[in-house]
Structure 1
Amino acid sequence: MVRLGTGIGWRPEIADAVERMQGIDWVEAVAENVCPGHLPGSLLRLRERGVTVIPHGVSLGLGDAERPGAGRLTALAERAEALGSPMVTEHIAFVRAGGPLTASARLEAGHLLPVPRTRDALDVLCENVRIAQAALPVPLAVENIAALVAWPGEEMTEGQFLYELADRTGVRLLVDVANLHTNHVNRGEDPAKALAELPLEAIAYVHVAGGFERDGVWHDSHAHPVPRPVLDVLTDLASRVSPPGVLLERDENFPEPSELKRELGAIREAVALGAAMRGATVHADAHVVPRAARTAVPARTGAAERAVTTGAVAAGAGAATATATAPTTASATTATVCAEGAQAAGATADAGAGTPERTASGEAVRQRLGLAQTALLSALVAGTPVPEGFDRVRLGVQARALAAKRADVVAKVAPELPLILGSGYRSAFVAYAQGHPMHGGYRQDALDFAAQLLREGRPAEGRARRDLRRWWLDRSGPAPRPTSRLGLGPGLRQVGRSLIRR
């Protein structure tokens, strides 16, 4: 077990502040933001000081119905090796659906969506995790996610699902206590019950982050201070076991370094309080919850019971085909995305060959899960009917949140667009997103959005339209045009130069 200590999420916006912080034992960097051959100077300096750097993936899609693509696994492995990391981490989530498995359009969520806690989904997830473990040069840890919506007909609690995943694959767990709090507010799930059911001995480290509540819904924003209820969940966890590492996440609305320092201090205090409650000196594996004390996982249900989550989805999945385009590539999640090259969708050989997941029935399980995930994602991003059993109001909130997130990320990936379109950018993009699902990552999303505006005759003739057309021609062509030929206004030329150099 790697003892990490106290860490913070490394982001380019706070790189200087993180370098100057005292008492930072390790950092975590978004894997898709790091280019192995061009590591940020800040990360190199931190490594030279002995600070551990762990790549944290967001686009692998371990919960997808399809197997992880070899290209994405190779990219994640390269980052782990370039950073000299002791492990890599990813999420228990699905991020794309559709494609050949369901004979429908391939769709991307641009977000981490929950997998159903069913035996079907668990079988697929276990095989996908084994594939990733076989392809990575270091151990893998997987993170529980925050969810706004719940799948109907679930067969396990979150703790039971994670326990069996760890038991069957040996994968380590990245426990996000903020996500446990989010699921408490949004889905009525008790964090203490989840912690009691987790295999605490499998914890690799812990995430802590802030959010906010609006109209009874908790938004896991990573852009607000860590609230007391999240720290209380952290204390509860630390009262049960000594976490090997605890990390503060912040992705937006970055505060002054003094505020980050205060939050790190509050995290240390919450862990210390938990250790005091545990009544012993902090040890790596102290007081693991006994296996017999955990709630038993229900036995596999029959096809009739599983039909609750997978029935009547073919129509919803097929509706997405009307907007089919080219196959998806890796998604870009922030402005400093490194080009991955071709992202092959082929599967790596499974280390669990001969297991039930590799039989013909296993392929049928993947297809059932794929149909269900495609129906849900299509309802969220393509306006198709809501699958039976889902909360329509919650799905509406989630759909709006996904559109807003797409607008924010596209504005980072293509910062010229908000400058060209001005205050009308956001409303125009959200309206576009409601009828145009994302198929090829955020960079392609930006190009598709600009092309759609131009087809619709927007903006009206004038400087904005000329700038938008020249920007689209430059970005969609085989090679970038020189900046001097783009005809950009003075405020856009420097931005154009910086983007071309990427």
Structure 2
Amino acid sequence: MAGQVARLGTGIGWRPEIADAVEEMPGIDWVEVVAENVCPGHLPDSLTRLRERGVTVVPHGVSLGLGDADRPDGGRLAALAERAEALGAPLVTEHIAFVRAGGALTASPRLEAGHLLPVPRTRDALAVLCENVRIAQESLPVPLAVENIAALISWPGDEMTEGQFLYELADRTGVRLLIDVANLHTNHVNRGEDPAKALAELPLEALAYVHVAGGFERDGVWHDSHAHPVPRPVLDILTDLASRVRPPGVLLERDEDFPGPGELERELADIGEAVRAGAGLRGTASAAPDGGALPGAPEDGGAASPEPPPTEPARLRLGLAQAALLSALVAGTPAPEGFDRARLAVQARALAAKRASVVAKVAPELPEILGSAYRPAFLAYTHARPMRGGYRRDALDFAEHLLLGTGPGDGRTERALRRWWLDRSGPAPRRRSRLARVGRALIRR
């Protein structure tokens, strides 16, 4: 970890839908991009222009799975490193979450969540996470910061609070922290966790930057949608944080239902006011008013308080627990003991809804072909049908499911869907492959 973190300033999440507005927005010092959504050799023109103007661009990964029981995939780490170098980024960020489970470690089917799920706050999970973070740090050309996530569910048997867990992680590895104050609010509503207590326990001297986002509440559950205005409770948590430490950077996230530039600028103004209000409350006795090195962290980029690697039994115990939970969420198996079944059902529906939304983005022809029938048909398809290999594979599997089942409806829709599936199933396969058999079946229909 670098001794001093980059001073970023005011930022906004760059998305293609608001690229033009972001370029013209006053007061933007930096932007964050979803790492998996950019190609290093073909950066969007908007990002290139922003970089030429001196705007910092930070890649934000969403699929590495640092909280997985398995060690990080080398290919994913190489891709993240390539994006950091292509963007000239001062750091890269990822999540403290698990996104897949099963496989060789547990001798069970490989499962993909398609979204971020919380890790248990146990010694086993902490040991595995620390080693995974160290592996990532060694593979990346710039410092790594990791983000706390929003959660709908709680693990039974937690051994630490979130603040204690993150403190241990930062102290053992020297990793920087990306604190999402919207996620602290989410966990307050959904899990009864006090944001002020979490902030008091966090090593804020390790702060890299802050996320701010909106959401909505339904039936007592807060959904971190990134598609709604930032609510007052989230701004209040930001003020509390800013009263304890000067944030190196603060960024507004918005992923869907983008408002006009004027509303985005008003939200940024509200965020700036919340930070200034916190600064006015910050006393001279603040532990680390401007960020800086972790206590005991070396200034040469090494990790603090090295720990021995976790034992393989710890990975196996964590892997079995994560596989059981993810199977209940995406494959319809019984809920593991100790979990709130009603809340697991909410999480399962949220994962299915996320799959439907992302598939609609990576394969926009499907909602065009199916119209209003797309979403209910896709949600029905997800029941006990886990993702097999990413969202593009999921789109093909969904279309195949419709075509080989009862059909998508009228003849015109079915013909359009059949053409779409055949066009995107790759080059002519070998005659004995499953794809060839399915293709011949579809052509005969």
Amino acid corresponding to residue 90 of structure 1 in structure 2: E
2:308 partner amino acid:
P
CA distance in 2, matches of 1:237, 1:477: 51
Counterpart of 2:245 in structure 1 is 241
Q: How many Å separate the matches in 2 of 1:287 and 1:111?
A: 30
Report the CA distance between 1:455 and its aligned residue: 1.0
The question of whether the paired residues in 2 share the 8 Å contact of 1:60 and 1:73 is answered with yes
Which letter maps to 2:168? Answer: E
| In the alignment, structure 1 residue 441 sits paired with structure 2 residue 390 | yes
Letter of the 1:254 partner, please give it.
F
**Structure 1 residue 435: deviation in Å?**
2.2
Secondary structure of residue in 1 paired with 2:32: strand
Tell me how far apart the structure 1 counterparts of residues 387 and 80 of structure 2 sit (CA, whole Å): 23
Q: Which residue of 1 aligns with 2:69?
A: 65
Task: Report the CA distance between 1:139 and its aligned residue.
Answer: 0.2
Deviation at 1:262, TM superposition (A): 0.3
User: Is 1:15 matched up with 2:19?
Assistant: yes
Aligned to 1:455: 404
| Counterpart among 302, 324, 329 of residue 380 in structure 1 | 329
Q: How big is each residue's C-alpha offset from its partner over 1:234-275, in whole Å with a ceiling of 9 and x where there is no partner?
A: 000000010100000000000010000000000000000000
Give the corresponding residue for 1:478: 427
Counterparts of residues 314-325 of structure 1 (less than 5 Å): none
Q: CA separation in 2, counterparts of 1:240 and 1:421?
A: 51
Query: How far does residue 459 in structure 1 lie from its aligned partner after superposition?
Result: 2.2
Counterpart code for 2:199: L
Structure 1 counterpart of 2:98, which letter? F
Q: Tell me which residue corresponds to 1:428.
A: 377
Assess if the C-alpha contact under 8 Å between 2:67 and 2:125 holds in 1. Answer: yes
Cα separation, partners in 2 of 1:108 and 1:280, compared to 1, 3 Å: same
Cα distance in 2, alignment partners of residues 282 and 63 from structure 1:
31
| Alignment partner, residue 347 of structure 2 | 398
When residues 283 and 151 of structure 1 are mapped into structure 2, their CA distance, relative to the original with a 3 A threshold, is closer
Who is 2:151 aligned against? Answer: 147
Q: Which residue number in structure 1 is paired with residue 309 of structure 2?
A: 357
C-alpha change, 1:16 and 1:75, in structure 2 (3 Å) is same
Q: C-alpha separation between the residues in 2 aligned to 1:237 and 1:69?
A: 34
Give the letter for the 2:212 counterpart: V
Aligned counterparts of 2:108 and 2:13: Cα–Cα separation in 1: 37
Q: Hey, what's the Cα distance between the residues in 2 that align with 1:461 and 1:253?
A: 31
Aligned to 2:366: 417
Name which of 100, 103, 107 aligns with 1:103: 107
1:3-402 alignment, distance < 5 Å: 3-279=7-283, 285-286=289-290, 355-357=307-309, 362-402=311-351
SS at match of 1:95: strand
TM-score, length-scaled by structure 2 = 0.91
Alignment partners' CA distance in 2, 1:250 and 1:126: 30
What's the TM-score once normalised by structure 1's chain length? 0.81
Q: Secondary structure at the match of 1:38?
A: coil
**1:135-176 residue CA offsets vs partner (Å, 9 max, x unmatched):** 000000000000010000000000000000000000000000
CA spacing shift, 1:284–1:80, aligned 2, 3 Å: farther
Find the residue that maps to 2:100 and give its secondary structure: strand
How far apart in 1 are the matches of 2:420 and 2:288? 54
State the Cα distance separating 1:280 from its structure 2 match.
5.7
RMSD between aligned residues: 2.1
Which amino acid counterpart does residue 153 of structure 2 have in structure 1? V
Q: Which segment is superposed worse, 400-409 or 27-36?
A: 400-409
Give the 3 Å change call, closer, same or farther, for CA 234–102 of structure 1 in structure 2. Answer: same
Corresponding residue SS for 2:386: coil
Cα distance in structure 2, aligned partners of 1:210 and 1:4: 22
Deviation of 1:460 after TM superposition, in Å, equals: 4.4
Change (3 A) 1:286 1:412: closer
| Mapped contact 1:209–1:222 kept (Cα < 8 A) | yes
Contact 1:275 1:281 in 2 (8 A): no
Distance 1:112 1:287, change over 3 A: closer
Task: Tell me the SS of whatever aligns to 1:233.
Answer: helix
- CA 1:466–1:77: 2 relative to 1, 3 Å: same
CA distance in 2, matches of 1:191, 1:418: 39
Helix, strand or coil for the counterpart of 2:383?
helix
Give the letter for the 2:99 counterpart: V
Q: Distance in 2 between matches of 1:85 and 1:286?
A: 21
Cα distance, 1:428–1:140 mapped onto 2, change above 3 Å: same
For 1:477 and 1:25, locate their aligned partners in 2 and report how far apart those are by CA, in whole Å: 42
Alignment size in residue pairs: 417
**Preserved contact between residue 177 and residue 208 of structure 1 (Cα < 8 Å):** yes
Whether the 8 Å contact between 2:128 and 2:314 is mirrored in structure 1 is: yes
Q: Do the aligned residues in 2 keep the contact of 1:209 with 1:226 (CA within 8 Å)?
A: yes
Give the deviation of 1:466 after TM superposition.
1.1
Shift in Å, 1:286: 4.8
Q: Letter of the aligned partner of 1:188 in structure 2?
A: G
Q: Does the 8 A contact of 1:409 with 1:442 survive in 2?
A: yes
Question: Relative to 1, partners in 2 of residues 1:390 and 1:48: Cα closer, same or farther, differing over 3 Å?
Answer: same
Amino acid in the other structure paired with 2:252: L
**Secondary structure, aligned partner of 1:180:** helix
1:177-217 CA distance string (max 9 Å, x none): 00000000000000000000000100000000000111110
Contact 1:57–1:90 (CA under 8 A) maintained in structure 2? yes
**Amino acid aligned to 1:27:** V
**C-alpha contact (below 8 Å) 2:402/2:408 kept by paired residues:** yes
CA distance in 2: counterparts of 1:206 and 1:54, whole angstroms? 13
Aligned letter for 1:478?
P
